[in-house]
């Protein structure tokens, strides 16, 4: 009888520079960060942009919605949604050491009635019936140790992601890596969601491109997006007005 092979998990380590604590998976590549004097704010620009789904929902409807993060990283999205937005939060992470380090060194709160960390393979977990149609804000940031390309990046995977979402739910995806292909990834997302439902930012200076896909395509008028951006900035401190200069639907 063959023994089932146990998964091998990457080493998890931390570094600090200029008041910021960085998470690494055994390499110099940054997998997440936390400002030590502001642990529940979002430090990295591309991670801030993954909150652009806030532009598509009324501000007063945010608290109590459900946020899911695939790939915990330093936990920035889950912490922000839990502490600042008062959402119910689920994070799916394969490596238990990442969750342990996030709790010990990156101020991730313990599980409670609004926060749950699920140790599982994201591709398998999101097919479970309990999650279907329950997620308002899905953040996908799944990378290998070298941050070379997304680990899950197929039309079938993005179709599974779409099935998680509520009618006005959104998925945001970080596309980055020297072995990745933005055009291929965008085509897969468009196949799963429909091109009319897909929006994209310009790349950050570091090369991260955040793509947003809506469960149900809408095209809010510019004045409404401007109003919501101002509300987001005033209430939660995210640079949402700047987003509108570098964020647009991929099809007119």
Mean pLDDT of 141-151: 63
CA–CA distance, 113 with 201 (Å, rounded to integer): 34
Does the pLDDT of residue 1 top 50, yes or no?
A: no
Residue 152 CA: distances (Å) to CA of 70, 124, 160, 247? 10, 11, 11, 24
Which pLDDT score is estimated for 125? 97
Instruction: Give the ranges where the chain is alpha helix by DSSP (H).
Output: 45-49, 76-83, 96-105, 122-125, 155-164, 182-193, 222-236, 240-243
Which pLDDT score is estimated for 2? 47
Does the pLDDT of residue 8 top 80, yes or no?
A: no
Q: Check if the beta carbon of residue 70 is closer than 8 Å to that of residue 141.
A: yes
What is residue 156's three-state secondary structure?
helix
Residue 77 CB coordination number (10 Å): 26
pLDDT band at 149 (very low <50, low <70, confident <90, very high): low
CA–CA distance, 202 with 216 (Å, rounded to integer): 23
Which pLDDT score is estimated for 90? 98
Q: Check if the beta carbon of residue 164 is closer than 8 Å to that of residue 155.
A: no
Which of 5-9, 60-64, 111-115, 247-251 comes out lowest in average pLDDT?
5-9
Which pLDDT score is estimated for 7? 65
pLDDT band at 114 (very low <50, low <70, confident <90, very high): very high
Residue 62 CB coordination number (10 Å): 21
Does the pLDDT of residue 31 top 90, yes or no?
A: no
What is residue 34's three-state secondary structure?
strand
Mean pLDDT of 169-177: 89
Does the pLDDT of residue 206 top 90, yes or no?
A: no
pTM (global) more than 0.75: yes
Average model confidence (pLDDT) across the chain: 92
Which residues make beta-bridge pairs with 116? 90
User: Which residue in this structure is represented by tokens 């401190």?
Assistant: 237
Which pLDDT score is estimated for 178? 52
Which pLDDT score is estimated for 143? 67
What is residue 44's three-state secondary structure?
coil
CA–CA distance, 15 with 22 (Å, rounded to integer): 5
Q: Check if the beta carbon of residue 107 is closer than 8 Å to that of residue 34.
A: yes
Residue 138 CA: distances (Å) to CA of 18, 23, 47, 104, 242? 31, 21, 13, 25, 22
pLDDT band at 5 (very low <50, low <70, confident <90, very high): low
Mean pLDDT of 69-80: 96
């Amino acid at each position: 009888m063959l023994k089932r092979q146990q998964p091998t998990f990457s080493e998890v380590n931390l570094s600090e520079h200029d008041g910021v604590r960085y998470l690494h998976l055994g390499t110099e590549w940054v997998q997440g960060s936390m400002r030590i004097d502001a642990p529940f704010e979002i430090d990295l620009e591309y991670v801030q942009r993954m909150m652009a789904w806030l532009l598509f929902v009324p501000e007063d409807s945010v608290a109590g919605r459900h946020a899911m993060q695939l790939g915990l990283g330093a936990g920035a999205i889950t912490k922000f949604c839990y502490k600042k937005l008062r959402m119910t939060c689920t994070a799916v992470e394969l490596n238990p050491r990442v969750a342990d380090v996030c709790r010990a060194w990156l101020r991730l709160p313990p599980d409670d009635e609004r926060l749950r960390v699920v140790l599982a393979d994201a591709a398998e977990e999101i097919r479970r019936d309990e999650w279907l149609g329950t997620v308002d804000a899905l953040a996908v940031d799944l990378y290998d140790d070298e941050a070379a390309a997304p680990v899950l990046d197929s039309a079938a995977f993005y179709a599974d992601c779409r099935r998680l979402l509520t009618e006005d739910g959104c998925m945001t995806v970080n596309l980055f890596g020297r072995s990745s292909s933005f055009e291929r990834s965008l085509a897969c997302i468009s196949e799963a969601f429909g091109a009319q439902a897909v929006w994209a930012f310009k790349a950050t200076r570091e090369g991260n491109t955040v793509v947003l896909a809506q469960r149900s395509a809408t095209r809010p008028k510019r004045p409404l997006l401007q109003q919501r951006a101002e509300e987001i900035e005033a209430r939660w401190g995210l640079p949402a007005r700047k987003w509108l200069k570098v964020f647009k639907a991929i099809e007119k």
